[in-house]
């Protein structure tokens, strides 16, 4: 049974100011953000059943801000949770079978699964076995994660994981440690044994200090030093009809809970498969249902943005900290990025700055993208501050701009 304590375990990241945390939030151990607690729900096999996803949507509307995030590790986040509402949500999510027994298992279940698996294939078989054997893993640094990517071709090559079981160029499966270009072939049926053995080697050899496999300086044990490269990438799932249902884009990785519930109901979806690419696969959705996860906004796939990334937080009216709506401006910027019209207004990027991001933040807390962005728009007193190569709250180049003035200032209206 999941733990049902009376207060969330917020330590050590309970401050509301944005900063890089050394751990990932869960449901049992939520993280405080600018708009309240963030509760992260990790699906098993990348899949939430219809009952689970509708239950999450209903809970987000009744006990949180009514918004759901899709993370880059294919988890769902319910955000804007008041501390007083956390126990009720724990009960609801526990009843839906979404929780782990304790925070240790919750953080260890950091498992990215290729979302287009089918019953009986290698991805389903191996991921199911690993889930059943999580208690055999040693204590690990909080951000260490796994990828099971054993379809006909790997899809998760560009997505973060410390240890991977994936399809190799030779057609069989390999075990590959992050930071290595090649992996070791695996015997059928012994894949999880090998993964656990490599993880134990990492932990026994100072993995706690290294933090992540890619930073671990020790040479791999001889048995794990293979020379088989992963197979050619099948790439991310694209929006549209899929053999398993319909793939839908979530601009900004965020959806209103009521829109998601409506899309699930109207499409007849049997489940939602979460991907790390800001898209979800509505499993079993009718091909002609054309579910929309952002009704009223242009239907665009965020993969086609000419190298740009547009980030936006919930903004007004969803977050009480916001004095501006973020979405109208963010959607307009998405359109401009798609048209290839963003770029000339970039400032001089300091070392380490992200030079391809436009960030529309409802306030200076910058929940959606705490790092520097090439174009940073921060809401303040009902208008936007504009800065280049900056974080929200840093001194603006121009202040007090409405949406049209922002676009004019960027030369793209």
Site for ligand SF4 in 198-217 (CB under 6 A): none
Cα dist from 118 to 124, 125, 129, 412, whole Å: 7, 10, 15, 45
Q: State in angstroms the smallest separation of the CB of 15 from ligand SF4.
A: 13
Q: State in angstroms the smallest separation of the CB of 34 from ligand SF4.
A: 2
Q: Which helix (H) or strand (E) holds 103?
A: helix 103-108
Residue 20 or 119 having the CB closest to ligand SF4 = 20
Structure tokens given for 11 = 């330590």
Structure tokens given for 128 = 């199911």
Q: State in angstroms the smallest separation of the CB of 232 from ligand SF4.
A: 39
For residue 35, state whether it binds ligand SF4 (rule: CB under 6 A): yes
Residue among 39, 65, 68, 63 at smallest CA distance from 53: 68
Structure tokens given for 403 = 């949406």
Burial of 241 (0-12, 13-18, 19+ CB in 10 A): middle
Q: Which of 2, 8, 26, 34 binds ligand SF4 (CB under 6 A)?
A: 34
For residue 363, state whether it binds ligand SF4 (rule: CB under 6 A): yes
For residue 245, state whether it binds ligand SF4 (rule: CB under 6 A): no
Structure tokens given for 232 = 């050619």
Residue 176 or 391 having the CB closest to ligand SF4 = 391
Residue 117 or 252 having the CB closest to ligand SF4 = 252
Cα torsion at 319, 320, 322, 324 (round to 10°)? Answer: 90
Residue 64 or 113 having the CB closest to ligand SF4 = 64
For residue 25, state whether it binds ligand SF4 (rule: CB under 6 A): no
For residue 305, what are the β-bridge partners?
Answer: none
Residue 262 or 323 having the CB closest to ligand SF4 = 323
For residue 113, what are the β-bridge partners?
Answer: 148
For residue 52, what are the β-bridge partners?
Answer: none
CA 412 to chain centre: 30
Q: Which of 251, 362, 393, 396 binds ligand SF4 (CB under 6 A)?
A: 362
For residue 314, state whether it binds ligand SF4 (rule: CB under 6 A): yes
Q: How big is the site for ligand SF4, counted in residues (CB under 6 A)?
A: 14
- Longest CA span, the chain: 62
The SS3 of residue 111 is strand
Q: State in angstroms the smallest separation of the CB of 313 from ligand SF4.
A: 3
Which residues, other chains included, contact 34 with Cβ-Cβ below 8 Å and sequence gap of 6+?
16, 18, 313, 319, 321, 363, 365, 367
Residue 16 or 413 having the CB closest to ligand SF4 = 16
Stretch that binds ligand SF4, among 128-136, 257-265, 316-324, 345-353 (CB under 6 A): 316-324
For residue 99, state whether it binds ligand SF4 (rule: CB under 6 A): no
Residue 35 or 259 having the CB closest to ligand SF4 = 35
Q: In this chain, which residue has its C-beta nearest to ligand SF4?
A: 34
Stretch that binds ligand SF4, among 21-29, 135-143, 174-182, 359-367 (CB under 6 A): 359-367
Separation of alpha carbons 239 and 283, rounded Å: 13
Residue 113 or 313 having the CB closest to ligand SF4 = 313
Separation of alpha carbons 191 and 353, rounded Å: 39
Q: Which of 367, 386, 403, 406 binds ligand SF4 (CB under 6 A)?
A: 367
Q: Which residues contact ligand SF4 by CB under 6 A?
A: 34-35, 313-315, 319, 321-322, 361-363, 365-367
């Amino acid at each position: 049974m999941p733990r049902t304590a009376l207060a969330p375990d917020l330590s050590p990241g309970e401050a509301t100011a944005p900063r890089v945390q050394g751990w990932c939030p869960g449901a049992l151990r939520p993280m405080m953000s600018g708009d309240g607690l963030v509760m992260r729900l990790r699906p098993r096999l990348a899949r939430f059943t219809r009952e689970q996803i509708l239950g999450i949507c209903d809970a987000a509307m009744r006990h949180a801000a009514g918004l759901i995030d899709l993370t880059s590790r294919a988890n769902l986040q319910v955000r804007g949770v008041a501390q007083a509402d956390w126990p009720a949500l724990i009960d609801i999510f526990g009843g839906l079978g979404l929780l782990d027994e304790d925070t240790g298992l919750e953080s260890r279940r950091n498992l990215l699964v290729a979302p287009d698996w089918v019953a009986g294939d290698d991805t389903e078989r191996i991921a199911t076995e690993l889930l059943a054997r999580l208690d055999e893993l040693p204590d690990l640094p909080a951000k260490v994660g796994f990828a099971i990517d054993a379809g006909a071709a790997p899809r998760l090559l560009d997505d973060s994981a410390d240890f991977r079981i994936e399809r190799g160029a030779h057609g069989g499966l390999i075990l590959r440690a992050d930071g290595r270009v090649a992996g070791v072939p695996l015997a059928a049926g012994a894949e999880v044994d090998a993964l656990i053995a490599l993880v134990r080697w990492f932990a026994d050899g100072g993995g706690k200090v290294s933090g992540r496999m890619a930073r671990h300086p020790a040479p791999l044990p001889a048995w794990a030093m293979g020379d088989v490269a992963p197979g050619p990438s099948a790439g991310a799932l694209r929006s549209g009809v899929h053999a398993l249902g319909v793939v839908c884009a979530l601009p900004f990785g965020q959806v209103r809970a009521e829109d998601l519930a409506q899309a699930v109901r109207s499409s007849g979806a049997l489940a939602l498969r979460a991907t790390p690419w800001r898209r979800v696969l509505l499993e079993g959705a009718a091909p002609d249902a054309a579910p929309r996860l952002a009704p009223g906004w242009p239907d665009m796939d965020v993969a086609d943005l000419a190298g740009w990334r547009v980030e936006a937080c919930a903004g007004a009216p969803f977050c009480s900290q916001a004095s501006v709506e973020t979405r109208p401006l963010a959607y307009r910027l998405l359109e401009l990025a798609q048209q290839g019209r963003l770029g000339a207004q970039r400032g001089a990027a300091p070392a380490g700055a992200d030079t391809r991001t436009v960030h529309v933040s409802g306030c200076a807390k910058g929940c959606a993208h705490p790092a520097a962005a090439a174009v940073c728009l921060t809401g303040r007193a009902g208008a936007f501050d504009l800065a280049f190569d900056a974080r929200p709250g840093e001194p603006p180049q121009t202040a007090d701009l409405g949406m049209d003035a922002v676009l004019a200032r960027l030369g793209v209206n």
